[in-house]
Structure 1
Amino acid sequence: MFGRPTRLFPTDATLAGRDEASFALPARHRVLGTPLDATPGDGATPAGLEVAYFGLGCFWGAEEIYWAKPGVYSTAVGYQGGTTPHPSYEEVCTGRTNHTEAVRIVFDPAVISYDDLVKTFFEVHDPTQGMRQGNDVGTQYRSAIYYTTPEQAEAAERLTKVYGEELARRGFDPITTEVLPAPTFYFAEPLHQQYLDRVPNGYRCHASTGIAFPA
Structure 2
Amino acid sequence: MFFLGDQLNKKLEMPKPGQALPGRDRPIPTAKEHFVSKRRLQGPYPEGLETAMFGLGCFWGAERLFWQTEGVWVTAAGYAGGITPNPTYQETCTGLTGHAEVVLVVFDPKVVSYADLLKTFWEAHDPTQGMRQGNDIGTTYRSAIYTFGEAQHQAALASRDVYQASLKAAGRAAITTEIAPAPPFYFAEEEHQQYLAKNPYGYCGLKGTGVACAIPQASAQPSVAAE
| Length-normalised TM-score, structure 2 | 0.89
CA RMSD of aligned residues (A): 1.2
Question: Secondary structure of the equivalent of 1:97?
Answer: coil
Aligned to 2:155: 155
For residues 91 and 46 of structure 1, what CA distance do their matches in structure 2 show?
Answer: 33
For residues 210 and 159 of structure 1, what CA distance do their matches in structure 2 show?
Answer: 16
Question: Secondary structure of the equivalent of 1:155?
Answer: helix
Aligned to 1:82: 82
Aligned to 1:47: 47
Structure 1 residue aligned with 2:33, among 20, 24, 28?
A: 28
State which structure, 1 or 2, has the greater radius of gyration over its C-alpha atoms.
2
- 1:100, distance to aligned residue in structure 2 (A): 0.4
Please tell me the residue identity of whatever aligns with 1:9. P
Does 2:11 correspond to 1:10? no
Please tell me the residue identity of whatever aligns with 1:174. A
1:31-180 equivalences in 2 (<5 Å): 31-38=36-43, 42=44, 45-180=45-180
Please tell me the residue identity of whatever aligns with 1:111. V
Does 2:184 correspond to 1:184? yes
For residues 144 and 31 of structure 2, what CA distance do their matches in structure 1 show?
Answer: 26
What is the number of equivalent residue pairs in this alignment?
A: 208
Question: Secondary structure of the equivalent of 1:13?
Answer: coil
Question: Secondary structure of the equivalent of 2:18?
Answer: helix
Stretches of structure 2 lacking an aligned partner (at least 5 in a row)? 217-227
Stretches of structure 1 lacking an aligned partner (at least 5 in a row)? none
Q: Which structure shows the higher helix fraction?
A: 2
| Length-normalised TM-score, structure 1 | 0.94
For residues 69 and 212 of structure 2, what CA distance do their matches in structure 1 show?
Answer: 17
- 1:21, distance to aligned residue in structure 2 (A): 2.1
- 1:22, distance to aligned residue in structure 2 (A): 3.2
Please tell me the residue identity of whatever aligns with 1:213. C
Structure 1 segments, 4+ long, off by >3 Å, are: none
Please tell me the residue identity of whatever aligns with 2:212. A
- 1:201, distance to aligned residue in structure 2 (A): 0.1
Please tell me the residue identity of whatever aligns with 1:20. R
For residues 96 and 82 of structure 2, what CA distance do their matches in structure 1 show?
Answer: 9
| Identity score, percent | 51
For residues 88 and 48 of structure 1, what CA distance do their matches in structure 2 show?
Answer: 31
